[in-house]
Structure 1
Amino acid sequence: MTSKVISIVLGGGQGSRLAPLTTTRSKPAVPIAGKYRLVDIPISNCLHSGIHRIYVLTQFNSASLNKHIKNTYHFSNFSEAFVDILAAEQTPTNVGWYQGTADAVRQSLHHLAVHDFEYVLILSGDQLYQMDFAHMIEQHIAANADISIATIPVHANDVPGFGILKTDAESLITSFIEKPKTNFESWASDVSPQMAAEGRVYLASMGIYIFNKKLLYELLEGNDHTDFGKEIIPQSIINHKVLSYQYEGYWTDIGTIPSFFEANIGLTDDIPKFNLFDKHPIYTRARMLPPSKMSGTHVDKVIIADGCIINASQLTRALIGIRSRIGFETIIENCYMMGSDNYQTLEQIAELHESQSPVMGIGDRCHIKNAIIDKNASIGDDVQINCGEPLENGDYGAYVVQDGIVIVKKRAVIPNGTII
């Protein structure tokens, strides 16, 4: 039945919680795992599930995302498959930006009207997980549900950050509360023995929904509701058959700098919770890059993408993105280096050395800990980052400090000998 499904990936708002990574790009375009973009996760899940008609909704800094989608997802001319961007647009009936998740879908309904479909799968663009949506769709149809919501068991200390659901014996959702702060003990649900043993007894909404086409139009047209989690879902539970699809695999919302950092560094674990080596790969832009090369480097729990030139003395728990250059005698610990969009020529490098200006990448004799280095940053020689006393949160121009993590901004230049 996946042939009767259209998927909508919500690109999110301004992405302020992921700043400065979202200063010049939309949230779905943020690089992850050294070679992918966030948007590749939901799109790859859809394609592996047999869902080949996908819209990505954006409104902020969408140029790089448009370029990525255009260069990545190509289908046969004889196929109905597509991955298209729908950016917020002014129309005769609407002159404003998307006001929320439901409003974004409402403003996009006229684009869906030209297609034959029965179900709409609505996804978030800032989550890391691997799910076969075909199983969720099968359960939705078998239960004759109006709406299905993917749910995941969470611990009590996670409850205040989620919409929490209660279900009956048939997995139908009977009540919903948005991000309760206190007195939520009565909201514990029946979960599998494994989840109960881990103390994960509260069902949280994952922000993944299936709507029957007719009902979605009814719920969105003729009203001003702007958000699914706060308005559409709680009201629908009263009058419609809303089903919980319980998921127990790895899933994380990476909408903040600490969660983004933890999710990426976690990929370097011996057995990571998110498996990049799964039989269902993550699709992304195919680049004709040379293999990476290293010289004299001791590595421990490191992921290195294509096209890198590394002469560092030590890399520990590090994620090194495409086209990264790292100089001699440099030590990198617990860092995500996103890499570069292009190589500098030997002539350009020689000119920069002559003027004592940093080359793109990381120079010689540096020591960098607990940092995210955004794309195309130039870090000079003898630079130390986050190697001393704890740093105060704040924006310091070329870099930002948040919760002990230093984020070197995109295209930032850190002069030789700088100590942060």
Structure 2
Amino acid sequence: MTSKVISIVLGGGQGSRLAPLTLTRSKPAVPIAGKYRLVDIPISNCLHSGIDRIFVLTQFNSASLNKHIKNTYHFGTFSTAFVDILAAEQTPTSAGWFQGTADAVRQSLHHLAVHEFDYVLILSGDQLYQMDFAEMMQQHIDKGADISIATIPVDAADVPGFGILKTDSESMITSFIEKPKSNFESWASEVSDEMKQQGRVYLASMGIYIFNRKLLYDLLESNDYPDFGKEIIPQSIEGHKVLSYQYEGYWTDIGTIPSFFEANLGLTDDIPKFNLFDKNYIYTRARMLPPTKVSSTRFEKSIIADGCIINAKIIKHSLIGIRTRIGFNTEIESCYVMGSDNYQTLEEIDEARKNHLPIMGIGDNCCIKNAIIDKNTYIGDNVTINCAGTLPDGDYPTYTVVDGIVIIKKRAVIPSGTVI
């Protein structure tokens, strides 16, 4: 069954709501959980579901994503499996950028045509969840659907942020409304008793679709609508069998800095909603890193990735990424420190110290709270970040503040004694 499926992961647009994390990389390439990239989530879900022919569509800042895909997803010489990047390109029939989700797939159809498949699974590249797409695919086939949409029950407070669907007794979608702000009580659908008890009685689109091959080509070639959620899906409901695949597990759309921050720190919970230790683990690039070395540090509800050198006083409710160096007597609380792409040599460290410059990582006697420290940053000694009350939003040369969260930009240099 899954051998008849090709998956397309939508890399997203410019990712402005995740800035400054997307200033130099595409959304799917943003580091998550200390050692992975966002794109690893949908790809891992596909591979665990037996779907191993995957295209990733992207157009903004795609260099780091291309490198990650190339270095991570290798298959046997005689395998038909692949994970390939399809970047926006000028062709005789299309000279512009992708204008939306549907337009991105439309411009890529000629790349799909050389493969044999009956179904196309379309996924977002910036969501955190674990789903067996084989179950969704089986329901699609069993019910003779033309299109299937993964849906998740949400409560009234979340309704204005989603496209909301109404279903009949057979789980077929009968109507759709895009992000209703009020008077949506009549849009409640049949959900499980557990969801009813939580007040989650509205079905929201998760942006995960299955299309029959012929229908997808017909829909995309007969019009120039740019988006699936806003145009293609709503206009397909009346004339086609559009099925709701109801999912009740953990799922979050990582489209903003607060949602990204919350999703990462949530991984440090005693029993996190997203299970990193599940048998269906996340695939990512295999790095030959040494184990983490710790000296006299107190840890509370934290995750520490490989290759770190940690001398901090305390690390609390934080996620520390690969190759992170943290100095003596430093306190870190509610932070995501992404780590580094490489180590400085001893010669480089000595040279920096002779010139009174910060070395890569976080120095001695620092206090950092409610912050995201992007990769390859240089934070000196006696630096204080977000430790004295909530800061107003703003964008500055080396950092950005969003909803009280300080984001230290990639490769930023924060001199010793700095207070943010």
Aligned residues: 420
Q: Deviations along 1:342-400, whole A, 9 cap, x unmatched? A: 00011111111111111110000000000000000000000000011321101011000
Q: Deviations along 1:93-144, whole A, 9 cap, x unmatched? A: 1100000000000000000000000000000000000000000000000000
2:189 match: secondary structure:
coil
In the alignment, the residues of structure 2 paired with residue 177 and residue 145 of structure 1 have an alpha-carbon distance, to the nearest angstrom, of 21
> Do structure 1's residue 225 and structure 2's residue 189 form an aligned pair?
no
Question: 1:310 is aligned with what amino acid?
Answer: I
| 1:325 corresponds to | 325
In the alignment, the residues of structure 1 paired with residue 183 and residue 77 of structure 2 have an alpha-carbon distance, to the nearest angstrom, of 56
| 1:140 corresponds to | 140
| Percent of aligned pairs sharing the same letter | 80
| 2:305 corresponds to | 305
| 1:10 corresponds to | 10
Question: 1:181 is aligned with what amino acid?
Answer: K
How far residue 287 of structure 1 moved from its aligned partner, in angstroms, is: 0.2
In the alignment, the residues of structure 2 paired with residue 391 and residue 270 of structure 1 have an alpha-carbon distance, to the nearest angstrom, of 29
| 1:100 corresponds to | 100
| 1:170 corresponds to | 170
| 2:261 corresponds to | 261
- Following TM superposition, the consecutive aligned residue runs of length 4 or more in structure 1 with deviations greater than 6 angstroms are none
In the alignment, the residues of structure 1 paired with residue 209 and residue 224 of structure 2 have an alpha-carbon distance, to the nearest angstrom, of 20
> Do structure 1's residue 210 and structure 2's residue 219 form an aligned pair?
no
Q: Deviations along 1:237-275, whole A, 9 cap, x unmatched? A: 010000000000000001100000000000000000000
In the alignment, the residues of structure 2 paired with residue 379 and residue 337 of structure 1 have an alpha-carbon distance, to the nearest angstrom, of 12
In the alignment, the residues of structure 2 paired with residue 357 and residue 160 of structure 1 have an alpha-carbon distance, to the nearest angstrom, of 48
| 1:285 corresponds to | 285
How far residue 77 of structure 1 moved from its aligned partner, in angstroms, is: 1.1
In the alignment, the residues of structure 2 paired with residue 58 and residue 167 of structure 1 have an alpha-carbon distance, to the nearest angstrom, of 33
Q: Deviations along 1:307-326, whole A, 9 cap, x unmatched? A: 00000000000100000000
Question: 1:271 is aligned with what amino acid?
Answer: I
| 1:376 corresponds to | 376
Q: Which moved more, 1:4-13 or 1:384-393?
A: 384-393
Question: 2:117 is aligned with what amino acid?
Answer: F
Q: Deviations along 1:132-173, whole A, 9 cap, x unmatched? A: 000000000000000000000001110011000000000000
Question: 1:215 is aligned with what amino acid?
Answer: L
In the alignment, the residues of structure 2 paired with residue 13 and residue 117 of structure 1 have an alpha-carbon distance, to the nearest angstrom, of 27
How far residue 297 of structure 1 moved from its aligned partner, in angstroms, is: 0.2
Question: 2:136 is aligned with what amino acid?
Answer: M
Question: 2:228 is aligned with what amino acid?
Answer: F
In the alignment, the residues of structure 1 paired with residue 70 and residue 136 of structure 2 have an alpha-carbon distance, to the nearest angstrom, of 29
In the alignment, the residues of structure 2 paired with residue 181 and residue 346 of structure 1 have an alpha-carbon distance, to the nearest angstrom, of 58
In the alignment, the residues of structure 2 paired with residue 335 and residue 353 of structure 1 have an alpha-carbon distance, to the nearest angstrom, of 26
| 1:184 corresponds to | 184
In the alignment, the residues of structure 1 paired with residue 146 and residue 22 of structure 2 have an alpha-carbon distance, to the nearest angstrom, of 35
Question: 1:73 is aligned with what amino acid?
Answer: Y
In the alignment, the residues of structure 2 paired with residue 390 and residue 112 of structure 1 have an alpha-carbon distance, to the nearest angstrom, of 49
Question: 1:171 is aligned with what amino acid?
Answer: S
| 1:389 corresponds to | 389
In the alignment, the residues of structure 1 paired with residue 210 and residue 46 of structure 2 have an alpha-carbon distance, to the nearest angstrom, of 13
What runs of 5+ residues in structure 1 fail to find an aligned partner? none
Question: 1:172 is aligned with what amino acid?
Answer: M
Question: 2:209 is aligned with what amino acid?
Answer: Y
How far residue 4 of structure 1 moved from its aligned partner, in angstroms, is: 0.1
How far residue 339 of structure 1 moved from its aligned partner, in angstroms, is: 0.1
In the alignment, the residues of structure 2 paired with residue 76 and residue 113 of structure 1 have an alpha-carbon distance, to the nearest angstrom, of 23
What runs of 5+ residues in structure 2 fail to find an aligned partner? none
In the alignment, the residues of structure 2 paired with residue 193 and residue 373 of structure 1 have an alpha-carbon distance, to the nearest angstrom, of 42
How far residue 222 of structure 1 moved from its aligned partner, in angstroms, is: 3.0
Q: Deviations along 1:17-41, whole A, 9 cap, x unmatched? A: 0000000000000000000000000
1:349 match: secondary structure:
helix
2:41 match: secondary structure:
helix
Question: 1:255 is aligned with what amino acid?
Answer: G
In the alignment, the residues of structure 2 paired with residue 134 and residue 341 of structure 1 have an alpha-carbon distance, to the nearest angstrom, of 35
In the alignment, the residues of structure 2 paired with residue 110 and residue 175 of structure 1 have an alpha-carbon distance, to the nearest angstrom, of 31
Q: How does 1:111-130 map to 2 (within 5 A)?
A: 111-130=111-130
> Do structure 1's residue 272 and structure 2's residue 269 form an aligned pair?
no
In the alignment, the residues of structure 2 paired with residue 417 and residue 185 of structure 1 have an alpha-carbon distance, to the nearest angstrom, of 54
In the alignment, the residues of structure 1 paired with residue 278 and residue 155 of structure 2 have an alpha-carbon distance, to the nearest angstrom, of 27
In the alignment, the residues of structure 2 paired with residue 381 and residue 159 of structure 1 have an alpha-carbon distance, to the nearest angstrom, of 46
How far residue 63 of structure 1 moved from its aligned partner, in angstroms, is: 0.3
Q: Deviations along 1:70-105, whole A, 9 cap, x unmatched? A: 000000111100000000000011100000000000
In the alignment, the residues of structure 1 paired with residue 112 and residue 267 of structure 2 have an alpha-carbon distance, to the nearest angstrom, of 36
| 2:245 corresponds to | 245
RMSD: 0.4
How far residue 5 of structure 1 moved from its aligned partner, in angstroms, is: 0.1
Q: Deviations along 1:391-418, whole A, 9 cap, x unmatched? A: 1101011000000000000000000000
In the alignment, the residues of structure 2 paired with residue 259 and residue 356 of structure 1 have an alpha-carbon distance, to the nearest angstrom, of 37
Question: 2:140 is aligned with what amino acid?
Answer: H
In the alignment, the residues of structure 1 paired with residue 256 and residue 165 of structure 2 have an alpha-carbon distance, to the nearest angstrom, of 24
Q: How does 1:63-102 map to 2 (within 5 A)?
A: 63-102=63-102
| 2:200 corresponds to | 200
